[in-house]
Structure 1
Amino acid sequence: MSNPFVLIQSFYEDIVYSGLREDYAPAKRKKTIRFNQFILLILIAHFVCVISYFCFGLYISALINLSAAYVFIIAYHLNLRRKYLIARLVSIVNLNLYLVIMNYMEGLKAGEYLFFFPYFLIMTFIISFRKNFIELGFAYLVTMVSLLFCYYVCPQENHYQVHIVNMFGRLYESNLLIALILTTFFSYAIVRINRNNEEAILKEKQFVDTIFNTSLDGVFILDAERLAITDCNNRALELLEIDDKRQIVGSPMESLFTKEHIQLFRGIKGSPGDERINSWQGELSLTSKKDNTIFAFVNVVPFFEDSRHFWKISILDISEIKMTQFELMKAKQKAESASRAKSRFLSNMSHELRTPLNGIIGASHLLLQEQYLEDQRSHLEILKFSSEHMMTLINEILDFNKIESGRFELENVPVNMRAFLRKLETQFSVQAHTKGLLFNVDIDENLEVEYLTDETRLNQVLSNLLSNAIKFTQKGGITLGARKLSSSSKKSIIQFMVQDTGIGIPAHKQQEVFDSFTQADTDTTRKYGGTGLGLAISKRLVSLFAGELMLQSEEGKGSTFHFNLELEINENAKLYINDEKVKQLPVFERLRVLVAEDNFVNMSVARKFLTKWGIEVHEAVNGLEAVEKFRRGNFDLVLIDLEMPEMDGITALAEIRKMQPAIPAIAFTAAVYEDMRIDLIKKGFMEVVPKPFRPEDLHNKIQKLVANRA
């Protein structure tokens, strides 16, 4: 069975602490709790009075008490909904109105006016005299008006309820006793509540002081109106190197902050009751009492207490971080200075080394072209090879230094990719065949396009990979591959690949080969030579192209290096037409073709072919114009680019088919994606001609579609 005292305490806490929120300030919590306590006490008083009235048979008085209690419950719910002022006003008016009605119904001789004294006491309790003077004055005024009304208007005796002789005397004695009990009870409750509140406040203050003084931040409380320091914690004293708080509390803000700082704080907006209080945070420098500079991260938050404006300033010491940053800056400057010195040294050494090397290389070539003894040939070949190898090493070191220093920029010039790769084939196939190796080429036919890229650096990467492949392969072959993975009208993604059947690279060494001055092992260095910079330079060059050089290798079976580059198509490329080959194609009779193409060069080339084949060409520069021209004209076939402004080719064809469902349509596109032909046929096209196109392919497809239609 539960303890009655525990049940009563639980009921009391449920009533008194209801309506509290976590974001309430201490003053607001206190105000809410006090009003709930007032409601609880007043309801207890009404409960006692109702019992008394039932004992005397005064049922109208009991009903009035119950009605007044109901209004107090309404005021309690208003308080829960944070309508504090309305709740207190309802309580004050209800209390006085209740006493006036009771005095009128029972008469002054019944002594109902005696309840003004305990109620006056508890009413003063719920309204803070210091904070709510106007509200308290209103309550006193209403009470005085009520008392005067009772004195002048209420009768001495009223026989609506009282019919028993000497009942007024008994009522007076009863009401006097109840008033004394209520006054004593309310006085005790108020004293007890205030004592509990004081204890709670002291505990809360002790708790806050503990947090305040154990904070890692130095905290200052400043009066924003008087511009004076009102409080600070222990950490703040340590930062400022002050022994006693009394040395700074009460001091003007200028003793801690500059005028610029104070002006900055004043720009923080805020007002009492404003839940969206702005704050300021940033880095400031302070000076301690011993003239030591403190670099700090400062957070300033405004707050209000009793309508007074304060600033809470939190200071986090970042002096060590600042010193570390300063040291890092010094180290960075030293490193940059050393890097510049290294660059100057390499530049000077490059000049000094290249000059005699050029002489040695030139002299060795001249000697090989002149008459020499047969036994001298091997010495001259060694001289030529060694000097050229030395020049290659110097160039690699200089290139690597240039990339590391960030002074390496790529060019963006037109390059015919297929022709470029054929040059590499010509250059390295001879070296491979000389060594007895096969040299295979796997180049996509769709790469007969000009791309904007840096031919020199792309050549450097692939040449390095091919040279390594030949150098580290003793039997088998080398493969140079390039394939277009995907394409749009503007750009293409191309995969480059160099594969060999050489010595391979162990799995645990595959990442290291891309590091500077590193090869797979020391035996490789001794056997094959080199600086170990080739792959490092290649990897960094590929990254400048926004790609990544990847490696797949198995020891003893060979290696594959590959990377993907997204290259921009040169829209202004000159396309060369083999007029003789075009002339051999048959001419069409009375054929009208609508060509939709937004690129001027592509349109010009298509027009030249089509007119040579006797076709009447009508042009549209976007999908919208193509639809309009088709609506006004009569055409035998449409040739439509997929990517156009205003309206794309697929949408344009859908609109055209609404007008003429059976019109032959050819997709004219540079795009490449998986199952492209199947996808475009599903969307209404009958044939696909990729760009750049072969004249015979375009002619054959037009001829096929026209023949099928006939």
Structure 2
Amino acid sequence: MKQKLLYLGWSIYRDIVFSGLQEGITKDQRKKIIGFNQFILLALLVNFFSVVSYFYHKLYISALINITSAYFFLLAFYFGSRRKLETGRIIAVVNLNLYLIVISYIEGLKAGEYLFYFPYFLVLTFVVSIRRNSRELFIVYTITVIASLICLKLSPYTNTVQVINDALYTRLYSSNLVISLCMTIIFSYSILRVNKDNEVAIMQEKKFGDTIFNTSLDGVFIIFSQSGIIASCNHRALELFDVQEKREIEGSHVENWFDEDHVRRFNSIERTVSDGTQSWQGELAFTTQKGRTFHGYVSLAPFSYKDIRYTKISILDVSHVKMTEFELMKAKEKAEVAAKAKSRFLSNMSHELRTPLNGIIGASNLLVQEEHLPSQKAHLDILKFSSEHMMMLINDILDYNKIEAGKLELAEAPVNIKEFIQQVSTQFASQVKARGLEFKTDIDDRLNAEFITDETRLNQVLSNLLSNAIKFTHAGKITLAVRKLFASSTKATIQFIVMDTGIGIPRNKHREIFETFTQADVNTTRKYGGTGLGLAITKKIVNKFNSDLLLESEEGKGSAFHFTVELKINESRPRYIHEENISQLTQLPGVRVLIAEDNPVNLAIARRFLAKWGIEVSEAANGREAVDKFRKQEFDLLLIDLEMPEMDGATALREIRKLNNNIPVVAFTAAVYDNMQEDLLQKGFTDFIHKPFRPVELHAKINYLVAALRA
């Protein structure tokens, strides 16, 4: 029963004292609210016991005054619990002063009610914080002093409003004296306890601050801003500067610890910082007591304490970072040199390999078009296929290098997707038929329109997928399907699918086959050959189209590769030349072209095609000869190789541009390197064409450029 009563009393006390507290308030605000609630609770208890005492002594007017005072204390508590603490405190202070004035006047000074002013002066320190609200405390104390003077001045020594005899006066005075003394002792003890707690808290905060100061990973100097003398330092500073005790640093000038080359720089920075309120951060060099130099990341921050200006210098040792940075710079330089060497090597190899291949492919194309014995057809097909396969391998290696370097960019040109797919299928139809397979092409009729895309890269993707399908399929069929999934007025989403009924790919190898130089297994490599670059390059190119190459396959049941791209719809339809109509290309009579080419095979191939189209051809074996011929004759277009003896193509072009700045000049080259088109345009070329060249492409460029020149 006793424990229940104690728990009930504690619950009531807690509900009253903690009333008005809320989440998000500061520690000081919490103390202020609790102190105010404790003051109100104590005042109400005093009112309660006073009412009981006055009723006992039949002093009903005094009891009524106490009840009225209690009402206003409850009103102050109400405002405090409704988060209007300032209003509640004003009501409480005014109420207490009025109560003491009125009760002293009604009972007289002989009753000793004025004695409550002594504990009241002490209790104000709980209601108003001295440290943070000294002005407010001064105002409250002034009001209380004025109220106490009014009380002593206006109140009579005795009063006849109530019947109070001398014996009752004596009891009232004695009880008021005892209560005021007890309250004064309680409040004095509370003040001493609070001061002691504050002192302990200050000591703990100082200890905590010293711990942070000395356990910091930065070395710290505190210097006098005017003199530059070090006032204090932390333990990390001792470690950084190879010092055993603080006295070896404290009292010395800060310049003694800087590297000679950085003293002047620090002085200018320190003057700028100490004159204002801005801080500074940057790298400076320091010298330890043992003569060791290290680099530090330094932070300077000015501050004032007791009207003395200080500067805090924080030093983080970054010597290891500087060494790592230096090593990274060396490694970066080596990597850049290696990358340039690699790029140059691949460019040179491309030129060296493409030059003879140009002759082989060109000659095979001419032989196929010209009259030949039926028995030679198979050999010519082998020659053409092998040379084109060799070119494809070279392109794969060069493309992979470009993709790896992040230099591959997609071109944007109008392409009729339906005609493009028919062209791709025509290229592979003979290969599929030769292996005894069925070739099915499923093209959406809605794709008989032009879309903006990179025809070359899209052709590369589909060619790789179809080549793989043919290679790994022994029986059944190969399907090339292209479908328009949905479209708007400006864009269309198109799905490309290549399916086969070949050997398939095990599920555990679906990811590996897209990795560089990787095939499904060793036996596949031995049996079918290949570099393992095809699918890796294909996937990366598809990624450039903001898509992903997906695979559905089961071992022994075939494979299906598919991807989806979003392409812009071309609103203007330009002239179009079909690859399969090489023999039907329009004649270009009267067009005069100068070819500068040092390789006789390449020169013969190009001359043969140009002559077929009715073009008047002039030849130059090097750049110097080309410039001389250009001075003597007039031409409509120039085809110039980049690398020639005596004078290269770029130098020859500079001389030609001095004579004529408008004539179209096409770079006729086997070289491949980064930013090639931009570089050639800067050198003055109008366009470029790769060797081995596609006859249709060469015809289209000559036709377009000459027509533009004559327009």
Structure 1 position 117 matched with structure 2 position 103: no
Alignment-derived partner of residue 295 in structure 2: 293
Report the alpha carbon displacement of residue 434 of structure 1 after superposing the two structures with TM. Answer: 2.1
Structure 1 position 420 matched with structure 2 position 430: no
Report the alpha carbon displacement of residue 69 of structure 1 after superposing the two structures with TM. Answer: 2.9
**Residue identity (%):** 54
Q: Distance in 2 between matches of 1:451 and 1:29?
A: 71
3-state SS of 1:184 partner: helix
Report the alpha carbon displacement of residue 476 of structure 1 after superposing the two structures with TM. Answer: 2.1
Contact 1:46 1:65 in 2 (8 A): yes
Task: Give CA deviations for 1:553-572 in whole Å, capped at 9, x if unaligned.
Answer: 22233222222121211111
Contact 1:45 1:182 in 2 (8 A): no
3-state SS of 1:479 partner: strand
Contact 1:72 1:94 in 2 (8 A): yes
Give the letter for the 1:154 counterpart.
Answer: S
Output aligned runs, 1:243-392, within 5 Å: 258-259=269-270, 262=273, 266=277, 285=283, 290=288, 292-295=294-297, 331-357=331-357, 389-392=389-392
Q: Distance in 2 between matches of 1:309 and 1:242?
A: 26
Q: Distance in 2 between matches of 1:146 and 1:357?
A: 114
Alignment-derived partner of residue 157 in structure 2: 156
TM-score (norm 1): 0.64
Alignment-derived partner of residue 504 in structure 1: 504
How many pairs are equivalent?
561
Alignment-derived partner of residue 50 in structure 2: 49
Q: Distance in 2 between matches of 1:485 and 1:264?
A: 70
Deviates most, 358-367 or 73-82? 358-367
Q: Distance in 1 between matches of 2:506 and 2:160?
A: 116
Contact 1:393 1:530 in 2 (8 A): no
Q: Distance in 2 between matches of 1:340 and 1:163?
A: 113
Structure 1 position 546 matched with structure 2 position 546: yes
Contact 2:295 2:318 in 1 (8 A): no
3-state SS of 1:183 partner: helix
Q: Distance in 2 between matches of 1:20 and 1:220?
A: 43
Give the letter for the 2:524 counterpart.
Answer: T
RMSD (Å) for aligned C-alpha atoms: 5.2
Give the letter for the 2:563 counterpart.
Answer: F
Report the alpha carbon displacement of residue 36 of structure 1 after superposing the two structures with TM. Answer: 3.7
Contact 1:17 1:36 in 2 (8 A): yes
Report the alpha carbon displacement of residue 32 of structure 1 after superposing the two structures with TM. Answer: 4.0
Report the alpha carbon displacement of residue 101 of structure 1 after superposing the two structures with TM. Answer: 0.4
Give the letter for the 2:295 counterpart.
Answer: T
TM-score (norm 2): 0.64
For structure 2, the residue ranges without an aligned partner over 5 or more in a row are: 256-264, 577-711
Task: Give CA deviations for 1:418-469 in whole Å, capped at 9, x if unaligned.
Answer: 2222222222112222222222221122221111222222222212222222
The structure showing larger relative contact order (alpha-carbon pairs under 8 Å, at least 6 residues apart) is 2
3-state SS of 1:520 partner: coil
Q: Distance in 2 between matches of 1:334 and 1:165?
A: 110
Q: Distance in 2 between matches of 1:76 and 1:131?
A: 22
Task: Give CA deviations for 1:536-576 in whole Å, capped at 9, x if unaligned.
Answer: 22222222222222222222332222221212111112699
Deviates most, 153-162 or 202-211? 202-211
Give the letter for the 1:74 counterpart.
Answer: L
CA 1:560/1:374 → structure 2, altered by over 3 Å: closer, same or farther? closer
Contact 1:414 1:452 in 2 (8 A): yes
Give the letter for the 1:499 counterpart.
Answer: M
Alignment-derived partner of residue 102 in structure 1: 103
CA 1:62/1:309 → structure 2, altered by over 3 Å: closer, same or farther? farther
Give the letter for the 2:102 counterpart.
Answer: I
Give the letter for the 1:103 counterpart.
Answer: S
Alignment-derived partner of residue 400 in structure 2: 400
Report the alpha carbon displacement of residue 319 of structure 1 after superposing the two structures with TM. Answer: 7.7
CA 1:143/1:518 → structure 2, altered by over 3 Å: closer, same or farther? closer
Contact 1:218 1:234 in 2 (8 A): yes
CA 1:7/1:541 → structure 2, altered by over 3 Å: closer, same or farther? same
Task: Give CA deviations for 1:461-496 in whole Å, capped at 9, x if unaligned.
Answer: 212222222222222222222121112221221222
Report the alpha carbon displacement of residue 21 of structure 1 after superposing the two structures with TM. Answer: 5.4
Give the letter for the 1:497 counterpart.
Answer: I
Alignment-derived partner of residue 70 in structure 1: 71
Q: Distance in 2 between matches of 1:244 and 1:565?
A: 71
Q: Distance in 2 between matches of 1:355 and 1:385?
A: 17
Deviates most, 232-241 or 128-137? 232-241
Contact 1:241 1:288 in 2 (8 A): no
Structure 1 position 440 matched with structure 2 position 440: yes
Q: Distance in 1 between matches of 2:324 and 2:551?
A: 40
Task: Give CA deviations for 1:241-297 in whole Å, capped at 9, x if unaligned.
Answer: 8877886799999999955995999469xxxxxxxxxxxxx975577784643448x
Contact 2:297 2:315 in 1 (8 A): no
Report the alpha carbon displacement of residue 333 of structure 1 after superposing the two structures with TM. Answer: 4.7
Contact 1:239 1:288 in 2 (8 A): no
CA 1:456/1:183 → structure 2, altered by over 3 Å: closer, same or farther? closer
For structure 1, the residue ranges without an aligned partner over 5 or more in a row are: 269-281, 577-710
3-state SS of 1:451 partner: strand
Alignment-derived partner of residue 573 in structure 1: 573
Output aligned runs, 1:460-539, within 5 Å: 460-539=460-539
Report the alpha carbon displacement of residue 383 of structure 1 after superposing the two structures with TM. Answer: 7.8
CA 1:143/1:475 → structure 2, altered by over 3 Å: closer, same or farther? closer
Q: Distance in 1 between matches of 2:306 and 2:465?
A: 79
